[in-house]
């Protein structure tokens, strides 16, 4: 036997879920990202004991949030035949992640700058970036962001450089 209050509770529950989904779909974060790297890179050799290593190349990951809710995202950069760091004085590694907060309604790009050093005498190296949502359930807007955010990669997100001699790498698109 159905109690009188069960349909009422079910109606409120369905209305709440429908309201959340409707709000989330209309107010979701719209995150775009791309890799910004130079077309050419002239490098010098730095003496770092026990061997000479190339100087660092600077590149950036550009991110923005055009949506109506703030978003917390994780930017990951991976390098093949090279190593990267957040600062030129930090330790270099093959991959690096940085969490960043993106304010809503922004047509301005935020820049996350990285430094890259190719492996000594490598004929080529590749950089790739990805952006993912960070799960955050601390507030209603954070739940909306975690649940409904759309992250769109804009070309390029991966670039390869080839050594064309004379201490220069050229970007191959």
The domains located in the chain, with CATH, are 29-172 (2.60.40.10)
Condensed to tens digits (0 to 9), the pLDDT of residues 125-138 reads 999 999 999 998 88
3-state secondary structure 47-91: EECCEEEECCEEEEEEEEECCCCCEEEEEEEEEECEEEECCCCCC
DSSP code, position 131: E
Question: Rg of the Cα trace of the chain?
Answer: 22
Please state the pTM of the whole predicted model: 0.84
Sorting pLDDT into bands at 50, 70 and 90, what band is 160?
very high
User: Is the pLDDT reported for residue 30 higher than 90?
Assistant: yes
Sorting pLDDT into bands at 50, 70 and 90, what band is 123?
very high
Condensed to tens digits (0 to 9), the pLDDT of residues 62-120 reads 999 999 999 999 999 999 999 999 998 888 999 999 999 999 998 899 999 999 988 88
Taking the C-alpha atoms of residue 40 and residue 38, their distance in angstroms, rounded to an integer, is: 5
What pLDDT is attached to residue 52? 54
């Amino acid at each position: 036997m159905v109690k009188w209050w069960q349909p009422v509770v079910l109606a409120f529950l369905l209305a709440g879920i429908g309201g959340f989904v409707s709000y989330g779909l209309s107010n979701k974060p719209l995150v775009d990202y791309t890799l910004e790297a130079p077309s050419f890179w002239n490098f010098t050799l730095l003496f770092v004991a026990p061997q000479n290593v190339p100087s660092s190349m600077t590149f950036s990951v550009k991110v923005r949030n055009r949506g109506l809710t703030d978003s917390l995202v994780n930017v990951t950069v991976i390098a093949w035949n090279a190593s990267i760091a957040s600062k030129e004085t930090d330790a270099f590694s093959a991959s690096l992640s940085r969490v960043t907060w993106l304010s809503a309604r922004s047509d301005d790009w935020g820049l996350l700058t990285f430094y890259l050093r190719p492996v000594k005498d490598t004929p080529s190296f590749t950089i790739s970036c990805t952006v993912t949502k960070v799960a955050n359930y601390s507030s209603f807007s954070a739940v909306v962001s975690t649940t409904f955010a759309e992250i769109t990669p804009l070309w390029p997100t991966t670039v390869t450089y080839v050594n064309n001699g004379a201490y220069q790498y050229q970007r191959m698109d």
